[in-house]
Amino acid sequence: MTDPFLVLVESNTSGTGPLFARRARDLGVRPVLLAEDPARYGYARAEEIAVVEADTSSADSVLDAIASLDAGPPAGVTTSSDYFVPVAAEAARALGLPGPDPQAVIRCRHKGRQRAALAARGVPVAAQTLVTDADAALSAVRHTGLPAVLKPADGSGSTGVRLCGSLAEAAEHAALLLARTHNERGIPTVPGLLVEEYVDGPEFSVEVFGRTPVTVVGKHLGAAPYFVETGHDVPAPVPDATARSLADTAVAAVEALGLGHGAAHVELRLAARGPVVIEVNPRLAGGMIPELVRSALGIDLVGAQVGAALGHRPDLAARSAHHSSLRFLVVDEPSVLGEPPAALDDPPPHVTATVLTGPRDVPLAPRHDHRDRVGHAVATAPDAPTAARAADAALTLLRTSLRARTALEGTA
């Protein structure tokens, strides 16, 4: 009899990517990673995870790849990558395995359809218009009003999202988005873009599992006109009534979209009129949020997500009541990343991790999305202010590793 195995359809290359494989092993299941380009996954080589080169562009091709393994049916099929959630869901459904409703997931991946479904069920969302040409984009901006947010119809990680303060900016960015045919993973994109109302107010996410709100996360964003996430606080330092309102809105969104299996990462802004849903992602949060939740509350969302793919009931009971803060080291000008400063050999109090993830001594340029994050500092403490101060102090030390290329060129 063959050992039970869990199929991972592609993966995040860091963060939750390796964590999925580790949790599978913790649960006594062998992880098998299907990848169109196995060379992307250095962590898999380092941890001796089986990687099978395969076409992962559709559920049919994934099913063919699974059949070719000649190892019997898998115990589950899932993914940690936002881009492959629909394919994994369809493959799991075809094999009679646990997973989210494929149609609900597909609806979520297209931001225009997602918003329409939420609005139809009375969930508060930012006003938006899906357009497929430049003239329609400008007409939508005039109708929405300035400033307006322009974003891809099916993007992820803030890629291609921009706040436009004038018609000229909107026209330029619309042309850029409409010219895109493939995303940063080389996957064909959905035609069109969204012109969206700018909702002023602090940003949060609610991490939902099934239809249970696990925690509210406070988000930090970089400078406009972009929306690069530069940090998180878990739990968000807000009054209990505010946290309940955000959580209730997030659960209403999950229900309206027909989700309910596994994790959902719901992003909201707290406007003067109350919580407004920005988007729902039918997956675990990125940006190390699951690890912050584990550090602060003792809840293992990655383990719960892997377990859900295997048919296990999730354990969402909090085991601690700490606070965790993360701050990202972000490339905001042409730079070179060096080694971490010696001062981090003796990190500030409460700091539990200081990590540089970007390539050393390689020219870097801002891309204005998640790829600008080349390091992070994490702190866990008994209260929110202490955790935030510790993470900020560690980030200040990390910043000395990021040197401006213009300064270096001037001294050459």
Query: Which residues have C-beta within 8 Å of that of residue 337, sequence separation ≥ 6?
Result: 356, 358, 359, 360, 361, 362, 364, 374, 375, 401, 402, 403
Here the tokens at position 26 are: 């913790």
**Catalytic member of 283, 294, 327, 373:** 283
Q: Is 260 left (phi over 0), alpha (psi -120 to 50) or beta?
A: left
Determine contact, residues 394/351, Cβ cutoff 8 Å.
yes
Specify the length of the chain in residues: 412
To 10 degrees, the CA torsion angle through 236, 239, 242, 244? Answer: 80
Of the candidates 58, 48, 69, 62, the one whose C-alpha atom is nearest the C-alpha of residue 4 is 69
Here the tokens at position 144 are: 């929405």
Answer whether the bond into residue 4 is a cis peptide, omega within 30°: no
| Three-class DSSP labels, 44-73 | HHHCCCEEEECCCCCHHHHHHHHHHCCCCC
Of the candidates 204, 396, 392, the one whose C-alpha atom is nearest the C-alpha of residue 285 is 204
3-state secondary structure at position 351: strand
Whether 283 sits among the annotated catalytic residues: the reply is yes
Give the residue ranges of DSSP H helices in 287-383. Answer: 289-297, 301-309
Backbone angles phi, psi at 321, to 5 degrees: -135, 50
Q: How many whole angstroms separate alpha carbon 3 and alpha carbon 153?
A: 41
Contacts by 109-113, CB closer than 8 A, 24 or more apart: 109/85, 109/154, 109/282, 110/153, 110/154, 110/190, 111/151, 111/152, 111/153, 111/154, 111/155, 111/194, 111/279, 112/153, 112/192, 112/194
3-state secondary structure at position 42: helix
Active site residues: 283
